[in-house]
């Protein structure tokens, strides 16, 4: 699932809204220590079950107001589509298309990936679009509670397991961001292999729940310190009097 501005979020985050210097320092130290250990910054937060259900619903409802023959593909539609493809092929050469694709990729600076776990915890991190999906798997191997159990990632809707870990985030369609879901890959029908109920993340990672980096408070600027006082008398002294020209009447000019 792609991340965009229209996605509804009901996130329970322990934000440090009121600035507490001591609490902010603890949060920064904790996040920095985990980032150094994992090799990249992460965020952890909880999502309510209602948001999970909402994300799985289609973004726009399908309307059935049109008659059935409206969707029939006619011969006229076929030739019109064929003519459009021929025109596009002549208008855009291969080099132009490659240049456009390279320009689009260069504008994408990061891929924000959120991994949602069955216990409603979400792990968020950032990757370079050129990195492979295997880098996400390597990160999860460092943070999940049961490293001994196999797992897989999938997207929804519809549910589709992510299998090719050699592709990069851009090619996978995960740029500028995406939500993927975590599940243990246990054999079906095996009564001894029961699905763990959680927690799915290590206690150290769960302790980051809701912690956000707080920007440094802006230093107050004293307007009186930088203000320049200009005395009116000095301005008056700098002004030179304008000399008036005396114009003689015409009858005086002889």
Contact 211, 14 (CB under 8 A): yes
> Which one-letter DSSP state was computed for residue 196?
P
Residue 77 inside a domain? The answer is no
Residue 5 inside a domain? The answer is no
Look up the CATH number of the domain holding residue 158: 3.10.20.90
What is the C-alpha to C-alpha distance for residues 34 and 115, in angstroms, rounded to an integer? 17
Residue whose structure tokens are 């910054």? 41
Residue 28 inside a domain? The answer is no
Question: Per the structure block, which two tokens stand in for 214?
Answer: 């707080």
What is the C-alpha to C-alpha distance for residues 29 and 37, in angstroms, rounded to an integer? 12
Residue 22 inside a domain? The answer is no
Residue 49 inside a domain? The answer is no
* First and final C-alpha spacing in the chain: 99
Contact 184, 149 (CB under 8 A): yes
**pLDDT tops 70 at residue 151:** yes
Q: How many CB atoms lie within 10 A of CB 133?
A: 22
For residue range 84-115, what is the model confidence (pLDDT) as tens digits? 766 565 556 777 777 777 777 777 789 999 99
In this prediction, residues 18-38 reach a mean pLDDT of 84
Confidence of residue 235 (pLDDT cuts 50, 70, 90): very low
Confidence of residue 208 (pLDDT cuts 50, 70, 90): very high
pLDDT recorded at residue 32: 93
What's the structural domain count of the chain?
1
What is the C-alpha to C-alpha distance for residues 173 and 75, in angstroms, rounded to an integer? 33
Helix, strand or coil for residue 33? helix
**pLDDT tops 50 at residue 42:** yes
Residue 116 inside a domain? The answer is yes
Residue 137 inside a domain? The answer is yes
């Amino acid at each position: 699932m792609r991340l965009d501005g229209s996605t509804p979020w009901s996130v329970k985050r322990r934000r440090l809204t009121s600035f507490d210097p001591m609490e902010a320092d603890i949060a920064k130290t904790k996040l920095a220590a985990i980032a150094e250990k994992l090799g990249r910054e992460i965020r952890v937060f909880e999502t309510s079950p209602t948001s999970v259900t909402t994300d799985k619903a289609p973004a726009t409802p399908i309307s059935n107001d049109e008659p059935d023959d409206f969707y029939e593909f006619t011969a006229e539609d076929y030739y019109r589509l064929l003519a459009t493809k021929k025109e596009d092929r002549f208008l855009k050469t291969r080099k132009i298309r490659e240049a456009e694709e390279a320009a689009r990729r260069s504008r994408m600076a990061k891929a924000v990936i959120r991994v949602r776990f069955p216990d409603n915890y979400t792990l968020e991190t950032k990757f370079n679009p050129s990195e492979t999906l295997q880098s996400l798997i390597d990160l999860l191997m460092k943070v999940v509670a049961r490293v001994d159990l196999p797992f897989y990632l999938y997207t929804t809707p519809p549910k589709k397991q992510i299998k090719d870990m050699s592709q990069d985030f851009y090619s996978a369609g995960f740029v500028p961001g995406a939500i993927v879901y975590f599940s243990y890959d246990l054999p079906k029908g095996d009564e001894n292999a029961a699905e763990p109920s959680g927690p799915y993340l290590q206690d150290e990672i769960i302790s980051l729940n809701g912690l956000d980096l707080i920007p440094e408070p802006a230093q107050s600027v004293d307007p009186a310190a930088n203000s320049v006082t200009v005395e009116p008398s000095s301005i008056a002294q700098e002004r030179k009097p304008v000399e008036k020209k005396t114009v003689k009447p015409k009858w005086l000019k002889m």
